[in-house]
Amino acid sequence: MKKNGSDLKKEKQSAIFEAALKVIKEKGFHRARIADIAEEAGISYGLVYHYYKNKDDLCNDILNQWWGRLYELLETIRNREDEFQDKLRALILYFLDTYQQKPDLMNIFITQISRSSDNLTKPRLDFFKTFLSLTEAILNQGQKKGVLRSDFESYYLTYIFLGALDTFLSVMVLGDQKIKNDAHKDKIAETILEVFLNGAKAGKREA
């Protein structure tokens, strides 16, 4: 069946987007060129400008899609009536799923967004603050339900939880460690969740 104009546009834009992820992963935001992205996408240099005004516009689209999907997930998790542990598990699995399915995107988040002060402009810092705020709201629910200790500030718990998740992912990304299968992914998620909620101290749960 012949594709209509809208489908072709989405297909080309998706090709540019995926090519940009690969090129930015390899070269970084600042060294990546539109010409490199066009070559990787298998399209003409000028066609990229039909969809994006410049490289910053393309990079902002990557960031907006990343944060937009993450915010949507966090809002959904916060409003669900799930057990608190299941809420945290869903957030952990979101990051692991992204790394499993779109490793280039996760690499960019770790190396170009999370750890690069050069790319941390005021608007991008605001993205992080919103991310922290939405996550803190979920952890605060855990405190109100008595799952988490209430004598700790909720934002401290947020830093500890996200810090553990970020560090784990960073080691995997920077060490090019792959998620072998869904069982491996679930094991990672359960380990992070268990250590955050109950600690790593040896005890009865080992038996």
Mark whether 130 and 47 lie in a shared domain. no
**How many other CB atoms sit within 10 Å of the CB of residue 22?**
17
**Which has the minimum average pLDDT: 10-14, 22-26, 150-154, 182-186?**
10-14
Mark whether 36 and 68 lie in a shared domain. no
Mark whether 20 and 113 lie in a shared domain. no
Mark whether 80 and 108 lie in a shared domain. yes
The CATH code of the domain that includes 5 is 1.10.10.60
Q: Which helix (H) or strand (E) holds 46?
A: helix 45-51
Angle formed by the axes of helices 5-31 and 55-79, to 10°?
100
Mark whether 44 and 64 lie in a shared domain. no
Given a contact cutoff of 8 angstroms between Cβ atoms, the answer to whether 13 and 51 are in contact is yes
Mark whether 35 and 125 lie in a shared domain. no
Mark whether 31 and 60 lie in a shared domain. no
Tokens of 22: 């690969």
Place of tokens 């799952």: 147
How many structural domains comprise the chain? 2
pLDDT at 113: 76
Nearest alpha-carbon partner for 117 in 42, 30, 198, 195: 30
Q: How far is CA 84 from CA 87, 117, 135, 137, 141, in A?
A: 5, 33, 12, 12, 8
Mark whether 18 and 112 lie in a shared domain. no
Mark whether 130 and 46 lie in a shared domain. no
Mark whether 151 and 81 lie in a shared domain. yes
- The domain in which residue 7 lies consists of 1-52
The CATH code of the domain that includes 124 is 1.10.357.10
Could you say which of 52, 79, 95 is where a domain stops? 52
159 exposure class (CB count in 10 Å sphere: 0-12, 13-18, 19+): middle
Mark whether 86 and 181 lie in a shared domain. yes
Tokens of 62: 């990557």
Tokens of 35: 């010409």
Could you read off the pLDDT of 44-100 as tens digits, one per residue?
A: 989 999 999 999 899 889 988 899 999 999 999 999 999 999 999 999 999 999 999
Is residue 183's pLDDT more than 60?
A: yes
Q: For residue 179, give the DSSP letter.
A: P
**Which has the minimum average pLDDT: 1-10, 74-83, 103-112, 195-204?**
1-10
pTM of this structure: 0.87
